[in-house]
Chains A and B, each alone.
Chain A
Amino acid sequence: MSIAFKPEETFRGDYRYRNSDAAILRFPFPFPEDRYMYSVNIEPHTRSGPSDVYLHAFDVDEHYIAECRDKAITLERDPGRCQVLPHMMMAQWDTLELLMESLSADYPALFSLTKEGDDFGSLWTWINRPLGIEQRFVFGDAETLPCEPFEYITRQAQGDFAICDQRDDNLYMDAGMVTSQADWSLEFDVGMSFMEWHGPVPLAHQTGVFERALKYLLMLRLGQPVRRLNWTMSINPRLDTSPESYPEWGPDRASVTPANAGEKVHLRVELQTLWRLPRSNAILFPIRCYLASLDDLARVPKWGKRLHRVLSTLPPQLVEYKGLTRYLPAALEWLAQRDDGAELPVGTAAGVTRLNAPVSG
Chain B
Amino acid sequence: MMHSDIKSRPAYQALVPDLAGSRHLLVIEGDALPPGRLATLSNTFAPVADSLHTWLTGAPAVEGIAGKLWQLGSVEDVLDTLACATRGYGMGDRLYVLGTEPFLWSVAGAAALIGFGPGQLQLEHAGSLRRRVWCTHCHVTTENVTTGIVACRGCSRHLLVRDHFSRRLGAFMGVMVDAEAPGEIPAIEEVFA
A: residues with CB less than 8 A from B are 80, 168, 185, 187-192, 195-200, 202, 205, 210, 243-247, 250-251, 253-254, 326
Whether A205 touches B5, Cβ cut-off 8 Å, given contacts A188-B166, A250-B180, is yes
Closest to A249 in B: B179
CA distance A185 to B162 in the complex (A): 13
- Min CB–CB distance A87 → chain B (angstroms): 13
The 8 A CB mask of B168-193 against A (1 = contact, 0 = none) is 11000101100111100000000000
User: Which residues of chain B have a CB within 8 Å of any CB of chain A?
Assistant: 5-9, 118, 134, 136-137, 139, 157, 162-169, 173, 175-176, 179-182
Cβ-defined contact, A250 with B9, below 8 A:
no
A200 touches B164 (CB 8 A): yes
Cα(A199)–Cα(B9), bound, Å:
8
- How many Å lie between the Cα of A253 and that of B137 in the bound state? 18
A200 and B179 contact, CB distance less than 8 A: no
Cross-chain contact A199 with B8 (CB below 8 angstroms): yes
Query: With contacts A188-B166, A188-B169, A192-B166 known, is A200 near B8, CB below 8 A?
Result: yes
- Contacts A188-B166, A246-B137 known; A251 to B182 CB distance under 8 Å? yes
- B179's partner among A185, A187, A188, A246 (CB-CB below 8 A) is A246
Chain A residues whose CB sits within 8 angstroms of the CB of B164 once the complex forms: 188, 199-200
Q: Are A198 and B176 in contact (CB under 8 A)?
A: no
Q: How far is the CA of A256 from the CA of B167 in the complex (A)?
A: 37
Measured CB to CB, the closest approach of chain A to B177, in angstroms, equals 10
Interface of B is mostly: loop
Q: CA A250 – CA B169 in complex, angstroms?
A: 25
* 16 A-B residue pairs with CB within 8 Å: A188-B134, A191-B166, A197-B8, A199-B9, A199-B163, A200-B6, A200-B162, A202-B5, A205-B7, A244-B137, A246-B137, A246-B176, A247-B137, A250-B176, A250-B179, A254-B181
Does the CB pair B137–A243 fall under 8 Å? Answer: yes
Add 16 more A-B contacts to A244-B137, A251-B181, A326-B180 (CB < 8 A). Answer: A188-B134, A188-B136, A188-B164, A188-B166, A189-B166, A192-B167, A192-B168, A196-B8, A198-B7, A199-B163, A210-B7, A243-B137, A243-B173, A251-B180, A253-B180, A254-B181
Residue pair B182, A185 in contact (C-beta under 8 Å): no
Q: Does B162 contact A80, Cβ atoms closer than 8 Å?
A: no
Query: Which chain B residues lie closer than 8 Å to A196 at the CB level?
Result: 7-8, 165, 167
Closest CB in chain A relative to B165 CB, distance in Å = 8
User: Which of A185, A198, A247, A253 has the largest count of B CB atoms less than 10 A from its CB?
Assistant: A247
Whole-angstrom distance between the alpha carbons of A244 and B7 in the complex?
A: 22
A191→B162 CA distance, assembly (Å): 19
Most chain B beta-carbon contacts within 10 A, residue among A196, A198, A202, A253: A196
